[in-house]
């Protein structure tokens, strides 16, 4: 119970600081609403505004609002539509209700009427809705306020860490079921269904589209398809899939070899060991960028050791070869969002780091601090589109690279909490528990 109490007090303090710095008395946060497909009457899956679930563990109550005035108790206007077509969202139990003033509404007009005298000095955070233009004038999504809040969110409260631990436990159950389905030689669709069943989640209740990739599909970084029929042979399996708990995300990747021995099984183990090694090198005060570069050197060593490159690791990195095999970033913040915010912010004023030309897809450039939670997800793949630039280059062992192509690649991903005296591998701990 004390976890949420401490969390909401921290959130209030952060909003107090940000609102005062930006010259606002209060903030109105809109949960959002489902959007209807073009020329249709069916809605796309609903995603709640992350700032809404920052305050309360409610993720499936669209058209709701949170109003917070500096130093006061936050007000939750929870939308309960007069609708016999759909089930009404249930109000989740918990001690959060002791710290929030709750009002049930069935129309946005109720909120407008209740707050009419407050809104001229209020910042609005959320997507526009059809009657917003008729409301008293508010600053809509002021960038300075959002930057300030995004910068603060990098440091997680104990409540947030607890939610992340529970999300990883849900996802770990799904991953174990998916692994077993792979060894049972099932199709990508059936593996995904096994994951959903074990994670106890509908597809729309997962934080992102699961990557369930057999064989060479593992080389497609965001593989968003799933074959209905099983392939002729199962060589490899890469799964990148997560789960929600109270709106907080898990993001886990594992890679499996159908063979217990052989070069690909050894490659999977080598990447697993390298991932754990780079986690052991995490230090408060170190730049995450430096960690990313250190991981590239480890990938270069693997490329040389397994005979994919004829040159040594240092030469491999200096000549830019590792980017062709490991094109994405080492990781990203994780929390209310899978790719959580603030990774480029230098400070609460909104000053930002410039994306690095050598590593443009790295989402996190800040220094490492206690309380941060980020992913560590190195990978190595055969992506022909990236290798075209080096066609005919004799530093590459093209025959050996061709041997890896049917397997796609390998990636390992954990979420790591930074503490004052080390790290906690939230994902590995979750697998131990399940």
Q: What is the pLDDT of residues 119-131, one digit of tens each?
A: 999 999 999 998 8
Query: Going by C-beta distance under 8 Å and a sequence separation of 6 or more, which residues neighbour residue 159?
Result: 3, 4, 6, 7
Residue 89 scores a pLDDT above 80 = no
Q: Check residue 403 and give its pLDDT.
A: 98
Pairing label, strands 122-125, 139-140: parallel
How far, in Å, CA of 396 to CA of 229, rounded?
35
Confidence at 133, pLDDT banded by 50, 70, 90: confident
Q: Check residue 2 and give its pLDDT.
A: 83
Is 66:29 a contact under the CB 8 Å cutoff? yes
Phi, psi of 36 (to 5 degrees): -90, 140
3-state secondary structure (DSSP) of residue 375 = strand
Domain boundaries 158-433, corresponding CATH code: 3.90.230.10
**Radius of gyration of the chain, Cα coordinates, nearest whole angstrom:** 24
Residue 418 scores a pLDDT above 90 = yes
Residue 1 scores a pLDDT above 60 = no
Confidence at 94, pLDDT banded by 50, 70, 90: confident
Q: Which region among 18-32, 84-98, 289-303 has the lowest average model confidence (pLDDT)?
A: 84-98
Q: What is the pLDDT of residues 348-407, one digit of tens each?
A: 999 999 999 999 999 999 999 999 999 999 999 999 999 999 999 999 999 999 999 999
Rounded mean pLDDT of the chain? 96
3-state secondary structure (DSSP) of residue 162 = helix
- The residues spanned by each domain of the chain are 2-152, 158-433
Report which of 149, 135, 127 is spatially closest to residue 62, judged by C-alpha positions.
127
Q: Is the dihedral of CA 28, 29, 33, 38 positive or negative?
A: positive
Confidence at 144, pLDDT banded by 50, 70, 90: very high
Residues 303-329 have a mean pLDDT of 98
The reply to whether 2-152 and 158-433 are identical in fold is no
How far, in Å, CA of 279 to CA of 292, rounded?
11
Query: Going by C-beta distance under 8 Å and a sequence separation of 6 or more, which residues neighbour residue 306?
Result: 263, 266, 267, 270, 400
3-state secondary structure (DSSP) of residue 333 = strand
Report which of 174, 254, 162, 161 is spatially closest to residue 207, judged by C-alpha positions.
174
Identify the residue with better confidence: 86 or 214: 214
Residue 173 scores a pLDDT above 60 = yes
How far, in Å, CA of 379 to CA of 268, rounded?
10
Confidence at 87, pLDDT banded by 50, 70, 90: confident
Query: How many Cβ atoms sit within 10 Å of the Cβ of residue 315?
Result: 14
Q: Is the dihedral of CA 330, 346, 337, 339 positive or negative?
A: negative
Report which of 335, 332, 316 is spatially closest to residue 324, judged by C-alpha positions.
316
Residue 91 scores a pLDDT above 90 = no
Confidence at 93, pLDDT banded by 50, 70, 90: confident
How far, in Å, CA of 209 to CA of 219, rounded?
16
**Residue 272: its H or E element:** helix 263-280
Q: Check residue 83 and give its pLDDT.
A: 82
- Per-residue DSSP letter, 267: H
Residues 88-113 have a mean pLDDT of 90
Helices assigned H by DSSP within 158-219: 158-183, 188-199
Pick the CATH number of 2-152 from 1.10.1060.10, 3.90.1170.50, 3.40.50.2000, 3.40.350.10: 3.40.350.10
Q: What is the pLDDT of residues 211-261, one digit of tens each?
A: 999 999 999 999 999 999 999 999 999 999 999 999 999 999 999 999 999
Q: Which two tokens stand for residue 327?
A: 């094109």
Q: Which two tokens stand for residue 205?
A: 């209740």
Following DSSP, what letter does each residue of 1-14 receive, concatenated? -HHHHHHHHHHHHH
Q: Check residue 11 and give its pLDDT.
A: 98
How far, in Å, CA of 62 to CA of 59, rounded?
8
Q: What is the pLDDT of residues 284-293, one digit of tens each?
A: 999 999 999 9
**Residue 125: its H or E element:** strand 122-125
With a pLDDT cut of 90, the percent of the chain lying above it is 93
Residue 184 scores a pLDDT above 90 = yes
Residue 392's Cβ-count burial label (10 Å; 0-12, 13-18, 19+) is: exposed
């Amino acid at each position: 119970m004390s976890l949420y109490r401490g969390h909401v007090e921290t959130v209030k303090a952060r909003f107090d600081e940000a609102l005062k710095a930006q010259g606002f008395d209060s903030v109105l946060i809109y949960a959002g609403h489902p959007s209807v497909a073009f020329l249709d009457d069916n809605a796309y899956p609903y995603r709640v505004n992350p700032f809404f679930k920052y305050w309360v563990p409610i993720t499936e109550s669209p058209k709701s609002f949170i109003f917070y005035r500096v130093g006061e108790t936050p007000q939750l206007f929870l939308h309960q539509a007069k609708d016999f077509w759909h089930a009404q969202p249930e109000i989740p139990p918990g001690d959060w209700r002791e710290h929030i003033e709750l009002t049930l509404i069935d129309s946005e007009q109720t909120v407008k009427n209740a707050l009419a005298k407050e809104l001229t000095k209020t910042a609005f955070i959320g997507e526009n809705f059809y009657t917003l233009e008729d409301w008293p004038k508010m600053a809509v999504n002021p960038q300075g306020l959002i930057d300030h809040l995004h910068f603060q969110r990098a440091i997680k409260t104990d409540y947030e860490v607890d939610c992340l631990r529970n999300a990883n436990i849900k996802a770990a159950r799904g991953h174990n079921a998916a692994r077993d389905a792979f060894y049972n030689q099932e199709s990508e669709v059936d593996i995904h269904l096994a994951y959903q069943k074990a994670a106890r989640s509908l597809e729309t209740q997962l934080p992102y589209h699961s990557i369930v990739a057999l064989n060479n599909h593992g080389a497609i970084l965001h593989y968003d398809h799933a074959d209905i029929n099983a392939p002729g042979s199962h060589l490899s399996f890469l799964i990148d899939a997560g789960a929600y708990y109270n709106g907080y995300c898990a993001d886990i990747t594992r890679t499996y070899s159908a063979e217990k021995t052989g070069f690909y099984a050894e490659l999977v183990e080598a990447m697993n060991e390298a991932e754990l090694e780079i986690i052991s090198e995490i230090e408060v005060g170190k730049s995450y960028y430096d960690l990313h570069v250190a991981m590239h050197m480890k990938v270069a060593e693997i490329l040389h050791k397994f005979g994919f490159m004829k040159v040594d690791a240092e030469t491999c990195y200096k000549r830019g070869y590792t980017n062709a095999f490991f094109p994405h970033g080492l990781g990203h913040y994780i929390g209310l969002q899978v790719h959580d915010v603030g990774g480029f912010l230098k400070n609460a004023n909104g000053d930002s780091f410039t994306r690095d030309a050598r590593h443009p897809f790295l989402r996190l450039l800040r220094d490492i601090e206690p309380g941060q939670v980020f992913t560590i997800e190195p990978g190595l793949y055969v992506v022909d589109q990236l290798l075209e630039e080096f066609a005919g280059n004799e530093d590459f062992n093209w025959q050996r690279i061709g041997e890896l192509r049917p397997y796609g690649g390998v990636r390992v991903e954990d979420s790591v909490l930074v503490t004052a005296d080390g790290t906690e591998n939230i994902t590995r701990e979750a697998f131990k528990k399940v």
